[in-house]
Amino acid sequence: MRQFRVCDSIDAYEFDKALDKACDELIRVDEMSDAEACAYCNTDTKEEALQGIQEEIDYIEFQLNRMAV
């Protein structure tokens, strides 16, 4: 587990939970058919759906790295 400054601990905890959720969602969507992934993520292609989730993961990781001591 990363070490965080005390003032950021609540935000860091929430970001960590969000990261776990986004990673689980990425796996779930990757296992879906193209049509299911498009409907679930409201995208035109499965690749767009996966890219959107990956961008969210990258953003959360960036925020966590900024908070890490």
Domain ranges of the chain: 6-67
Using a 10 angstrom Cβ sphere, with 0-12 exposed, 13-18 middle and 19 or more buried, the burial of residue 6 is exposed
What does the block give as tokens for 1?
């587990």
pLDDT tens digits along 16-51: 999 999 999 999 999 999 999 999 999 999 999 999
Please give the C-alpha separations between residue 36 and each of 3, 17, 26, 59, in angstroms, as whole numbers.
Answer: 38, 25, 13, 25
pTM as predicted? 0.81
β-bridge mates for residue 68, sequence order: 4
